[in-house]
Amino acid sequence: MLGESVFLGLLAATFKNGNMRFLRYVNVRYFWLPIAAFMLEIASEIIVSQNLLGLRLFWNEYYLIVQIIIYTMLVIFCYHNIDRRIFTLILVGILLNFAVISFNDGKMPVDVEGALSEGYSVEVEQLSRGLIVGHDVLDEETTRLKILGDVIHIPPPYPFPKTISLGDIVLSVGVFFFIFNSHKRRKTIVR
């Protein structure tokens, strides 16, 4: 969902501004923090899906620590850019996702019944085998904060069908509007 928000934000802002030169004026502090968080997330996916160095079980066991590191970087990033109001919305999305993850041992609970009804049988099978990092099957009895889990299904004909959370939506809307509203700051004329 985040990838689509970035793409649509860039597309809409380019249409609004007539070109992509507005990107020169996008200035965020500690921009490397979300990049580092994203790289740690990608590394985690590779470690778990490929069982890199035989670390799959270890990584899954201690994934809450990895998530704490990732979300700490994202919160610090938002904190240092909170002077722009849109970062409040982005922070709310991050905190919604972190809340459900932290209450469920570092894993985002996924509504498997809904996913199966939408045709995600391969993904559900991978999830059940522990091959999808940071996610777990939503259990009606033991999962906490179920409503904040991946319970919203976006089926075809959407080109990238998926299951997302409320936090994903809030975060993606914030990122879209941050990119869309990025533009050249006008110089103040002093007289």
Residue 188 lies in a domain: no
* Mean pLDDT computed over every residue of the chain: 87
Residue 189 lies in a domain: no
Pairwise CA distance, residues 98 & 44, whole Å = 17
User: Does residue 164 come out as left (phi exceeding 0), alpha (psi in the -120 to 50 range) or beta?
Assistant: beta
Provide the whole-model pTM.
Answer: 0.85
pLDDT at 188 (0 to 100):
41
- Nearest 5°: the CA angle 66, 69, 71 is 105
Residue 130 lies in a domain: yes
pLDDT at 184 (0 to 100):
52
Residue 190 lies in a domain: no
Q: Which of 98, 109, 112 is nearest to 64 (CA)?
A: 98
Pairwise CA distance, residues 8 & 29, whole Å = 23
Residue 85 lies in a domain: yes
Residue 13 lies in a domain: yes
Residue 127 lies in a domain: yes
Q: Which of 176, 185, 148 is nearest to 86 (CA)?
A: 176
- Give the domain extent around 135: 2-180
Residue 69 lies in a domain: yes
Whether a cis peptide bond, with omega within 30° of 0, leads into 157 is yes
191 residues of the chain, pLDDT tens digit each = 778 888 888 888 888 888 888 888 788 999 999 999 999 999 998 998 888 888 888 888 888 999 999 999 999 999 999 999 999 999 999 999 999 999 998 899 999 888 877 777 888 888 888 778 888 888 889 999 999 999 998 887 888 888 899 999 999 999 999 999 887 554 444 44
How many C-beta atoms surround the C-beta of residue 13 within 10 A?
A: 22
Pairwise CA distance, residues 32 & 183, whole Å = 21
Looking at the 3D structure of the chain, how many domains does it have? 1
Instruction: Provide CB contacts within 8 A for 125, sequence distance 6+.
Output: none
